[in-house]
Structure 1
Amino acid sequence: MVGSIWLLRLPNLTCRSYHRSTPTLSSMSKAACLATPDEVTSGVKRKAENPPYDIDVKKIKQGRKELRPGFGEDKFDETEYYFEHGLRKVYPYNFTYTTFCKGRWVGHLLLDVFSREFRALSKDAYKRALESGKVTVNSTVVGPDYRLKDNDLLANSIHRHEVPVIGAPIKVIHKCDDLLVIDKPPSIPVHPCGRYRHNSVLFILAKEHDLKSLHTIHRLDRLTSGLLMFGRSLDKARAMESQIKGRQVQKEYLCRVEGNFPDEPITCSEPIEVISHKIGVCGVGKYGKECCTEFRKLSYNGKSSVVLCKPQTGRMHQIRVHLQYLGFPIVNDPLYNDTVFGLGKAKGGLTEKTKEQLIEDMLKAHSIDKWLGPESDFLPDVCGATDSCSNSVKEVHEEETASKSDTDAPSSETSHFPASLRHYIETDKLFNAALENQRYNQQKYVSDEDCSECKRPYKDPRPEDLLLYLHCLRYKGKDWEYETTWPAWAREDWTVD
């Protein structure tokens, strides 16, 4: 099914609005939900005077309002899930991204904009994509030398492949008429963004639990697990969010950090600033926003410590950045426990290199496909973008299906997972029994001969790419309190790091 085209985005709603607004599945347009951090709008309503293309903006507005609340059932039916190797996967599907020309793009060549803004592919690869007609401007195929104008509407039709996430159930802790509380598994983003859409908490809850029109109250990073609350009514969501913003809610997180954390409680009040909005990296800096985190060691196993964290504020990556500053980064943090910050890993602040050098080094050292910043939703599909086009996703599945024995046990699919991940997958027998009806079905996998993703070598994410030793344990308000179970890696006798 080809995804329908949405042409407008709501101002001030992006995937990075952590505390300034309450974006919801019911109030966001598709485009707004898929916005990337560098797509923050000015909040001013855009008007297209004498648009050079045949689009009835009023009808689009009316159509969008008719779909509220929710995305519309057709969006949830775009594709289906299947489970293998301990992962939740999505059959590829057709989709169209759209975006208006941003102010900084005006007057620049289309090819130059793609090469500069989206670094995933080479300039030659983008040129081939633009020449293929996959990208249109104002519903018209244009060449790479097209010079962008204000209010230009760019559309990119692709065969969309989503990134696999852990094949674990979403545990419901509390559900009533106006509130939903869940225990989020690691690796699953809260809302659609980047290369995650159906593999997001909001879509999974809608498709598997029939829980739709949810309003986000707070956020967790994709790799972070734990307690997550949604309002089932807008009034409840606003009331809960108001308590959080007013610092009337006690928040507790668990983490496992490198080394022997000090025995005495520590409070870190260093201000945190965004080093790069584009790639989503923060650090302690004198021009940052005020924030405060309390830390207390719970246990030490000879190599690493379990620490209870109580953030008093809600800055982006606050716990991770403060632990990095103190010299006790989270054991498996792929972003802040890295010598790309310098040999000292930014203990005491970023002192070994400039911000500009850090950003440049990060782009060289890490793949944005893995974790570095929310990748853009507006990347053209490029056939032949990689050097090797063997062992496609479909070919790998065909080979596995032919060689798989009827006696293969489902548990063997997670035997390569560490206990910290199996803990999420193997504890729900009813869920695992239901998975038998959602194994890979070759007939449901429809490839596209023009899709570069279909031709690329297929590789599952590594188990270590699915988990961060950071868990939201408890939220407590004036007359309410919700808590999750402890993750396996937080046990006092845990020895596998």
Structure 2
Amino acid sequence: MALTPVERRNSFLREDIHNTEPETFEEPPAVITTPVGDMWPRPYYLENGLRRVQPYHFTYNTNCKQRWRGRELLEIFTDEFRDRPAEYYKEAIENGTIVVNGKRASSINHILKNGDIISHTMHRHEPPVTAAPIGVVHEDDDIIVINKPAGVPVHPAGRYNFNSVVEILRAQRDYSFNPSPCNRLDRLTSGVMFIGKNRRAADDLSVQIKDRTVKKEYVARVVGEFPDGDVVCEKPILQISPKLGLNRVRANGKEARTVFRRLAYYPPAPREGDDQTAAADEEEKQRQEAEREGKPWKSLRGYSIVRCRPLTGRTHQIRVHLQFLGHPISNDPIYANQRVFGPALAQNDDRSDDDDDIVTRLGRMGKDEVAEAVAYHDEMVDDYNKRKAEKLSGEVCEICNTALYTDPGVHELGIYLHARKYACEAGRWSYETELPAWALPPAGFEGPTEATVESDPLAADLAKLGLNDDGTVTEERRKAEAGEAADGEEQQPAAVAVAAA
């Protein structure tokens, strides 16, 4: 459910950010308008490698929905905002932190009607994010090209507000600065992002990206030894759960294509004193056991650094295609999660008969297994938000009595997926970053420390793969496939095509 946030002016100043004295709770605003004040400077502080936000009061406003008409106020909150217990909402209505049309409700049984405006003022606790700086790759009068750290959402959404790229940039520059993101990166993903300094520049670049006139390259760290050469996955992708933002390969999904090239493979480091012959025998034994049990995951050893070129822009496209190919991103909390997808991890699986089970298992996961905001769309305030929230620390806030959470672990601050390069098809501009630390050779191994020409997926000859420059299928290939279908062979989108290196 969409809520309109209204920020309230607070007494936070930069010099008292570390003040731990409880603040006095103010009455909700008598007039429901947007906005109601603001906090400047932002109440940030850095601690233990994390960017934190001092808790603050925040008012959510929403108009009475049609389905709420004629229903009791407490019932609405307990049914639709289940991130807090019913007792909390009862007290909030009684003490006036939940109001209707700017006035205290007559009782918890107050009946809502058309035109009512419901306001909920609460003490807001934002999750911390990494303290890693937002790097600047390029800046001119119109745009800023940044290197987004993993784990930081782009826009304020869900439990994140000030701890977002947009708000951090505003805090670093000026209150009047209004950054306009031109491309989208999931919270868990790092890398190149374009920030428009004005609406015209943002709209122009957004159109270029949408019209597929921009080449994109990502780098990922995946499980096992990824094949050499051009690996092309053309399986369509379908969103099977809008609520969770979960996507899978499905024949009735949207067209999706990704070109992959391996940069490096790093096998498990041999332990000192290991018998190499015995180790090889054990590896073969594990491979046979995995094949016999139908559990390919068990035979995957080591990891690969893979460069990825998405030719289409489906949500979670690279993550889903890598999972389908049997080489999911190593620390992907969703698509490399056996508790969600089972031991085969949906390798070569485009069936839909287990979708409901997968959605159910994912919905039940806690943050031990699933990082907060598994999808880009984490605006929902409901029981799922509670289940995927950080683990409780056992402490409560002295002001609002809200249960507090532990700090996120390293595995919750990002995944091994990085937007490394964006380039204009016409060659007018190109921006790239260095390889992230997790893509560099591990201790005791030699390997590439920068992207190589041989592994560049942007250099792939799309014509040889039957694709146009914009990633669509060539007419010649369509005719050839149509001819094969006419001969009685049922045509399906290619699962993978491997060209010799």
TM-score by length of 2: 0.67
Larger radius of gyration: 2
How far has the Cα of 1:174 moved from its partner? 0.9
Q: In structure 2, what is the Cα distance between the partners aligned to 1:141 and 1:131?
A: 8
Find the counterpart in structure 2 of residue 345 from structure 1.
345
Q: Is the 8 A contact 1:341 1:353 kept in 2?
A: no
Q: Secondary structure at the match of 2:216?
A: strand
Q: In structure 2, what is the Cα distance between the partners aligned to 1:353 and 1:119?
A: 30
Q: In structure 2, what is the Cα distance between the partners aligned to 1:132 and 1:301?
A: 60
Q: Secondary structure at the match of 1:96?
A: strand
How far has the Cα of 1:114 moved from its partner? 3.4
Find the counterpart in structure 1 of residue 266 from structure 2.
301
Q: Is the 8 A contact 1:369 1:375 kept in 2?
A: no
Find the counterpart in structure 2 of residue 464 from structure 1.
411
Q: Check if 1:188 corresponds to 2:137.
A: no
Find the counterpart in structure 2 of residue 91 from structure 1.
54
Q: Secondary structure at the match of 1:366?
A: coil
Find the counterpart in structure 2 of residue 362 from structure 1.
362
Structure 1 range deviating more: 109-118 or 333-342: 109-118
Q: Is the 8 A contact 2:391 2:405 kept in 1?
A: no
Q: Secondary structure at the match of 2:38?
A: helix
**Gaps (5+ residues) in structure 2?**
8-29, 268-301, 446-501
User: 1:324 is matched by which residue type in structure 2?
Assistant: Q
Deviations 1:181-233 (A, max 9, x none): 01111111111111111111111111113382121101111111111101112
Q: In structure 1, what is the Cα distance between the partners aligned to 2:250 and 2:184?
A: 23
The sequence identity of aligned pairs, in percent, is: 40
CA spacing shift, 1:116–1:260, aligned 2, 3 Å: farther
CA spacing shift, 1:174–1:296, aligned 2, 3 Å: same
**Gaps (5+ residues) in structure 1?**
1-6, 10-28, 32-53, 65-71, 394-446
User: 2:434 is matched by which residue type in structure 1?
Assistant: T
Structure 1 range deviating more: 244-253 or 342-351: 342-351
Q: Check if 1:269 corresponds to 2:234.
A: yes
Q: In structure 1, what is the Cα distance between the partners aligned to 2:336 and 2:326?
A: 9
How far has the Cα of 1:133 moved from its partner? 3.7
Q: Is the 8 A contact 2:42 2:171 kept in 1?
A: no
Q: Is the 8 A contact 1:90 1:199 kept in 2?
A: yes
Q: Check if 1:491 corresponds to 2:455.
A: no
Find the counterpart in structure 2 of residue 205 from structure 1.
169
Find the counterpart in structure 2 of residue 230 from structure 1.
195
Find the counterpart in structure 1 of residue 142 from structure 2.
178
How far has the Cα of 1:118 moved from its partner? 3.4
Q: In structure 2, what is the Cα distance between the partners aligned to 1:300 and 1:258?
A: 10
Q: Secondary structure at the match of 1:230?
A: strand
Find the counterpart in structure 2 of residue 335 from structure 1.
334
Find the counterpart in structure 2 of residue 153 from structure 1.
117
Find the counterpart in structure 2 of residue 481 from structure 1.
430
Q: Secondary structure at the match of 1:75?
A: coil
User: 2:130 is matched by which residue type in structure 1?
Assistant: I
2:245 aligned to 275, 280, 291, which one?
A: 280
CA spacing shift, 1:331–1:8, aligned 2, 3 Å: closer
Q: Is the 8 A contact 1:78 1:93 kept in 2?
A: no
C-alpha RMSD over aligned residues: 3.3
User: 1:489 is matched by which residue type in structure 2?
Assistant: W
Q: Is the 8 A contact 2:147 2:192 kept in 1?
A: yes
Aligned length: 375
Find the counterpart in structure 1 of residue 38 from structure 2.
75
